[in-house]
Amino acid sequence: MSYLASKTRYQNMQYRRCGNSGIKLSAISLGLWHNFGHVDTLENSRAILKLAFDSGITHFDLANNYGPPPGSAEENFGKILREDFAAYRDELIISSKAGYTMWDGPYGDWGSKKYLVASLDQSLKRMGLEYVDIFYHHRPDPDTPLEETMAALDLIVRQGKALYVGISNYPAVEAAKAIDLLKKMGTPCLIHQPKYSMFVRWVEEALLDTLEQEGVGCIPFSPLAQGLLTNKYLHGIPADSRAAKPHGFLKEEDVSETRINQIRQLNDIAQQRNQSLAQMALAWLLKDNRITSVLIGASKPEQLADSLHCLENINFSEAELNSIEQILK
Ligand SMILES: NC(=O)c1ccc[n+]([C@@H]2O[C@H](COP(=O)([O-])OP(=O)(O)OC[C@H]3O[C@@H](n4cnc5c(N)ncnc54)[C@H](OP(=O)(O)O)[C@@H]3O)[C@@H](O)[C@H]2O)c1
């Protein structure tokens, strides 16, 4: 039996306008960095995607190198799209990126026009798509002129291979330059994707203000600090966790005593708010209306179900915010 999406899928999600654009994104977006590669179980990936869409998530975030092996998350996503979501393409915002090492030689990495155009062609083939909704430059390239990288994004939109473009991991000054170049070319920057969570706060210095002034959306990645900002590491490192997996980007040493102490105290505040720690960590980002959407990961449908409930309370009292700051100091 083919998949029929829930009829009530748009009832409990919030949608936020992405900067000054015409596009609204679900306040929660799902990323396929981990848990969707050939090393993972396809049926579990499929169940997570169905739950996401049934819950009103419209935005799915990929990149050329997601797996492992690199490319396999796009392949699996393409397979599930064909088998289950073909009827829903126009209800989906699908993004991909290029910027990290993808293939051997001088044209498979960083930010040249050669790399970006070829990489997106490969991504489209892997996913079986005619276009992506958003194409990002994944990280700044210190050697390629920014003009060339932004001209590549503009070209890709003019070729019809992406509808919108974004940048990721760009510090505030480089982001402002990229946004300005794109504006002059007539292909406005839709969105910036930085790492941002209670544990990683560099964006608060200048980037968030820059994006607001320029009318560019902001979608924080790893808002749960790869799982640290949940209750999963309270009593050690579970065998099925990202920190325990050989291919995970969270290392055992990241689960330090200092972190665990902070996590315990944050968990106490979350409990007082009748939230799980994951829900509170996401709500804490979404309280700021400069945040378009939080880009979460999940290794099981149950985790996604838990995280989705964050939307039930995204307000914080001054006392709660102060207590959180004390813990994070
Ligand atoms: N632009 C970039 O450079 C960049 C870099 C990194 C990520 N991203 C994007 O951001 C997305 C999200 O990154 P992320 O996966 O690091 O996000 P995250 O939401 O911070 O971490 C997700 C992990 O946290 C755990 N988790 C999630 N919900 C939970 C819950 N309710 N209770 C307990 N544990 C829970 C799971 O870990 P376990 O696996 O241990 O169960 C899950 O795999 C990626 O998929 C990708 O699309 C972009």
3-state secondary structure of 99: coil
The CA 226 to ligand 1 mean position distance, Å, reads: 5
Residue type, 201: R
Domain count across the chain: 1
Instruction: Judge whether 19 lies within some domain.
Output: yes
Nearest to 67 by CA among 108, 34, 104, 103: 34
> What is the model's pLDDT at position 207?
98
Contacts of 272 (CB under 8 A, 6+ apart): none
The CA 147 to ligand 1 mean position distance, Å, reads: 32
> What integer is the mean pLDDT of 129-146?
98
**Pairing of the two strands 15-17 and 217-218:** unpaired
The CA 52 to ligand 1 mean position distance, Å, reads: 14
Measured in degrees and rounded to the nearest 5, phi and psi for residue 93 equal: -110, 110
Q: Could you give the dihedral angle defined by the CA atoms of residues 213, 112, 31 and 182, in that order, rounded to the nearest 10 degrees?
A: 20
> What is the model's pLDDT at position 209?
98
Q: Answer whether 55's CB lies under 8 Å from 9's CB.
A: yes
> What is the model's pLDDT at position 248?
85
What gap in Å lies between CA 39 and CA 128, rounded to an integer?
Answer: 21
Q: pLDDT category, 287, cuts 50, 70, 90?
A: very high
Instruction: Judge whether 92 lies within some domain.
Output: yes
Which residue has the least CA distance to atom 45 on ligand 1? 31
> What is the model's pLDDT at position 2?
83
The CA 248 to ligand 1 mean position distance, Å, reads: 10
> What is the model's pLDDT at position 224?
98
> What is the model's pLDDT at position 269?
98
DSSP state of 87: G
- Kindly report the length of the chain: 329
Please indicate whether residue 247 or residue 290 has the higher confidence score (pLDDT).
Answer: 290
**Cross-sheet strand order for the sheet of 59-61:** 217-218, 189-193, 162-168, 132-137, 93-98, 59-61, 28-31, 294-296
> What is the model's pLDDT at position 6?
98
Number of the ligand 1 atom closest to the C-alpha atom of 241: 40
- pTM exceeding the 0.85 threshold for the entire prediction: yes
pLDDT digits (tens, 9 = 90+) for 233-255: 999 999 999 999 988 899 999 99
Q: In a mutational test of the pocket of ligand 1, which residue from 230, 233, 254, 309 has the highest number of ligand atoms less than 8 Å from its CB? A: 230
Q: Using the structure block, give the residue that is written with the tokens 């509170």.
A: 280
Instruction: Judge whether 4 lies within some domain.
Output: no
- Structural domain boundaries enclosing 51: 15-228+289-316
pLDDT digits (tens, 9 = 90+) for 265-275: 999 999 999 99
The CA 297 to ligand 1 mean position distance, Å, reads: 3
The CA 32 to ligand 1 mean position distance, Å, reads: 8
Instruction: Judge whether 267 lies within some domain.
Output: no
> What integer is the mean pLDDT of 123-146?
98
Please say if the pLDDT value at position 1 is more than 80: no
Q: In a mutational test of the pocket of ligand 1, which residue from 77, 138, 222 has the highest number of ligand atoms less than 8 Å from its CB? A: 222
Instruction: Judge whether 266 lies within some domain.
Output: no
Mean residue pLDDT across the chain: 97
Q: In a mutational test of the pocket of ligand 1, which residue from 55, 226, 266 has the highest number of ligand atoms less than 8 Å from its CB? A: 226
pLDDT digits (tens, 9 = 90+) for 190-238: 999 999 999 999 999 999 999 999 999 999 999 999 999 999 999 999 9
Q: Please give the full DSSP string across 205-260, using - where no structure is assigned.
A: TTHHHHHHHHT-EE--B-TTGGGTTSSTTTTS--TTSGGGSTT-SS-GGGS-HHHH
Which residue has the least CA distance to atom 30 on ligand 1? 303
The CA 233 to ligand 1 mean position distance, Å, reads: 14
Any ligand 1 atom below 6 A from CB of 214: no
CA 268 to chain centre: 27
Neighbour count for residue 113 (Cβ, 10 Å)? 17
Any ligand 1 atom below 6 A from CB of 74: no
CATH code, domain with 128 = 3.20.20.100
Over the range 128-164, which residues count as b (16 or more CB within 10 Å of their CB) and which as e? ebebbbbbbbbbbbeebebeebbbbbbbbbeeebbbb
> What integer is the mean pLDDT of 7-16?
97
The CA 298 to ligand 1 mean position distance, Å, reads: 6
Instruction: Judge whether 191 lies within some domain.
Output: yes
Instruction: Judge whether 9 lies within some domain.
Output: no
Instruction: Judge whether 120 lies within some domain.
Output: yes
Q: Answer whether 242's CB lies under 8 Å from 299's CB.
A: yes
Which residue has the least CA distance to atom 26 on ligand 1? 227
